[in-house]
């Protein structure tokens, strides 16, 4: 099974159009267009009944002491943790493409409550839900796709892993409000094939992508 994109190439830089944040013109940070990328796939096992997509960054700093602090850098040897950017389930078994923007465009304060997507599909909570907790201007439930926004002073490039799963069920047993743990539990025993597409992103001009 394969997964590819017209928006970016495997192991190459993701354009800022598909990110949540980008380098600013009057400072280190600005909001970006946050458009969901194009994805296309095929070669799934015969009998696959649905597909699911995740996007996860495993390069997120495990501590926030230095994150986005002027005059400081997030050290490269700092332990890293995962950050979920997208959970998309119940894609029809006869669907093999998502066009750019099909599952979201722009940034919505307090999160997108009903992000767009193919008929019948469902989108879970991404980790901006946790990131913005306590922020009165941004806190809320962030459903659907919200793209890269690594620390602008990080000393490493972040890698965004888009996983496509072919499933032997048409619908996953998921609650209305689900995150990565619930998604993984629902997928257990139903994945017949998997493909991965990885893109890179950095907002630190000293760290080439």
130-147 core/surface letters (b: 16 or more CB in 10 A; e: else): ebbeeeeebbbebbbbbb
Q: What is the pLDDT of residues 8-64, one digit of tens each?
A: 999 999 999 999 999 999 889 999 999 999 999 999 999 999 999 999 999 999 998
Q: Give the pLDDT score at 14.
A: 98
Q: Read off the tokens for 126.
A: 């991404």
For residue 209, the model assigns a pLDDT of 72
Q: What does the alpha-carbon distance between residue 200 and residue 58 come to, in Å, rounded to a whole number? A: 11
Instruction: Read off the pLDDT band of 208 (50, 70, 90).
Output: confident
The model carries a pTM of 0.97
Q: Please tell me the predicted confidence (pLDDT) of residue 172.
A: 98
pLDDT tens sequence across 118-132: 999 999 999 999 999
What's the rounded Cα separation, in Å, for the pair 173 and 145?
21
Q: Which structural domains are found in the chain, ordered by start?
A: 2-201 (3.90.280.10)
User: What confidence tens digit (pLDDT) does each residue in 159-207 have?
Assistant: 999 999 999 999 999 999 999 999 999 999 999 999 999 999 999 998 9
Count of all residues that appear for the chain in the document:
209
Whether the Cβ atoms of residue 85 and residue 159 lie closer than 8 Å to each other? no
Q: Which residues contact 181 (CB under 8 A, 6 or more apart)?
A: none
The answer, yes or no, to whether residue 101 has pLDDT greater than 90, is yes
């Amino acid at each position: 099974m394969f997964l590819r994109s017209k928006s970016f190439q495997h192991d190459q830089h993701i354009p800022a159009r598909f990110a949540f944040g980008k380098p600013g013109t009057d400072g280190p940070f600005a909001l970006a267009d946050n458009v969901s990328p194009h994805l296309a796939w095929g070669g799934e096992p015969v009998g696959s009944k649905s597909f699911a997509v995740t996007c996860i960054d495993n390069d997120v700093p495990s501590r926030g002491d230095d994150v986005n602090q002027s005059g400081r850098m997030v050290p490269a040897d700092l332990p890293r943790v995962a950050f979920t950017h997208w959970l998309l389930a119940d894609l029809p078994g006869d669907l093999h493409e998502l066009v750019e923007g099909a599952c979201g465009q722009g940034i919505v304060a307090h999160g997108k409550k009903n992000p767009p997507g193919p008929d019948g599909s469902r989108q879970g909570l991404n980790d901006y839900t946790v990131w913005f907790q306590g922020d009165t201007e941004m806190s809320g439930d962030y459903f659907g796709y919200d793209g890269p926004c690594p620390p602008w002073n990080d000393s490493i490039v972040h890698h965004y892993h888009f996983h496509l799963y072919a499933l032997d069920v048409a619908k996953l047993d998921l609650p209305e409000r689900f995150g990565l743990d619930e998604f993984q539990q629902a997928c257990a025993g139903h994945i017949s094939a998997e493909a991965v597409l990885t893109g890179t992103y950095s907002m630190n001009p000293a760290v080439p992508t």
